[in-house]
């Protein structure tokens, strides 16, 4: 596995452990990290020594607290579409990887973090995990596939509420909604649970596992156009005054004053 700077990686007993390593910014995803993730997942399929992947965030406080709002605050309509499409491509590479990918969600999984977790094949959270799509607080919408995957995963009723209110859900509620496979007390216990599941899967025929991933994904990509509508809508948001106000307010640590323009 090629050396990456912002993602720690280690392979042990057939499992690739990936840790988003930007703890001081709650592992917020900047372009560099997305690029590194893409490089890694482009290699994983062809690497026979890797039979499963565990993806987590450094520290105890956050899995990933979203896309990097500093980068988001500088977008225009043209590069916003590219920004969304690139994130969608990276998460699509995770979702279509032929090795099972389990997210160990250790704390905040917000915005792009929630979108990254739901692009993985399974999710195990620690009890302190919090899920949400708070993009509406910034005058934008999820752009990395969240409007599509969340709706398909938990259904329209709750997905619409989560996307529109921007409120966070705790681990137990997320599990009840079908967002999670398991909730464990600690990060170590969550990793141990992920290892237990991966070891069961590793005893099965690798081709069957890859085919199951393709077949399950086929259900999820039945409306591929939805991803394009998401990227276009994301790009339209960044033309608004509310987007400037929303991202500026976060960076200035104050409440936004939205005007609908």
Catalytic residues: 115, 135
Nearer to ligand COA, 52 or 134 (CB): 134
For residue 125, what are its two tokens? 């959270």
Instruction: Work out which of 17, 50, 68, 81 binds ligand COA, going by CB under 6 A.
Output: 68
Residue 144 CA to its chain's centroid (Å): 8
> To the nearest whole angstrom, how small is the minimum distance from the Cβ of residue 19 to ligand COA?
17
Nearer to ligand COA, 108 or 243 (CB): 108
For the chain, how big is the Rg over CA atoms in Å? 18
Helix/strand/coil (H, E, C) string of 98-125?
A: CCCEEEEECCEEECHHHHHHHHCCEEEE
> To the nearest whole angstrom, how small is the minimum distance from the Cβ of residue 112 to ligand COA?
6
Instruction: Work out which of 1, 11, 14, 25 binds ligand COA, going by CB under 6 A.
Output: 25
> To the nearest whole angstrom, how small is the minimum distance from the Cβ of residue 132 to ligand COA?
8
Q: What DSSP string describes 184-249?
A: ESSHHHHHHHHHHHHHHHHTS-HHHHHHHHHHHHHHHTTTTHHHHHHHHHHHHHTTSHHHHHHHHH
Per rule CB under 6 A, is residue 144 in the interface with ligand COA? no
Binding mask 99-128 for ligand COA (x = CB under 6 A): ---------x-xxx----------------
Q: What share of the chain is helix, strand, coil (3-state, %, to 5)?
A: 50, 15, 30
Per rule CB under 6 A, is residue 69 in the interface with ligand COA? yes
Instruction: Give the containing element (helix H, strand E) for 55.
Output: strand 52-57
Torsions phi, psi for 152 (to 5 deg): -70, -35
Nearer to ligand COA, 70 or 176 (CB): 70
Residues numbered 74-103 forming contacts with ligand COA, rule: CB under 6 A: none
Nearer to ligand COA, 71 or 212 (CB): 71
Binding stretches for ligand COA (CB under 6 A): 25-26, 28, 65-70, 72, 108, 110-112, 134-135, 138
């Amino acid at each position: 596995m090629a050396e990456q700077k912002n993602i720690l990686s280690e392979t042990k007993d057939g499992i690739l452990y990936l840790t988003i390593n930007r703890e001081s910014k709650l592992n917020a995803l900047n372009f560099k990290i997305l690029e590194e993730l893409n490089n890694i997942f482009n290699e994983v399929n062809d690497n026979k020594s890797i039979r499963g992947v565990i993806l987590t965030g450094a520290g105890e406080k956050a899995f990933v607290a979203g896309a990097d709002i500093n980068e988001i605050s500088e977008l225009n309509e043209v590069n916003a579409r590219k920004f969304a499409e690139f994130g969608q491509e990276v998460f699509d590479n995770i979702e279509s990887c032929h090795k099972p990918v389990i997210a160990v969600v250790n704390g905040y999984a917000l915005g792009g973090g929630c979108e990254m977790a739901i692009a993985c094949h399974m999710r195990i959270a620690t009890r302190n995990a919090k899920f949400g799509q708070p993009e509406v607080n910034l005058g934008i919408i999820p752009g990395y596939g969240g409007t599509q995957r969340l709706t398909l995963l938990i259904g329209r009723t709750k997905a619409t509420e989560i996307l529109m209110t921007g409120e966070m859900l705790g681990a137990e509620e997320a599990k009840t909604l079908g967002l999670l496979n398991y909730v464990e007390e600690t990060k170590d216990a969550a990793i141990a649970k992920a290892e237990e599941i991966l070891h069961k899967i590793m005893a099965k025929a690798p081709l069957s596992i890859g085919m199951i991933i393709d077949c399950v994904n086929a259900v999820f990509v039945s409306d591929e156009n939805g991803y394009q509508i998401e990227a276009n809508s994301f790009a339209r948001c960044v033309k608004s005054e509310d987007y400037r106000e929303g991202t500026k307010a976060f960076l200035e640590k104050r409440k936004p004053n939205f005007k609908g323009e």
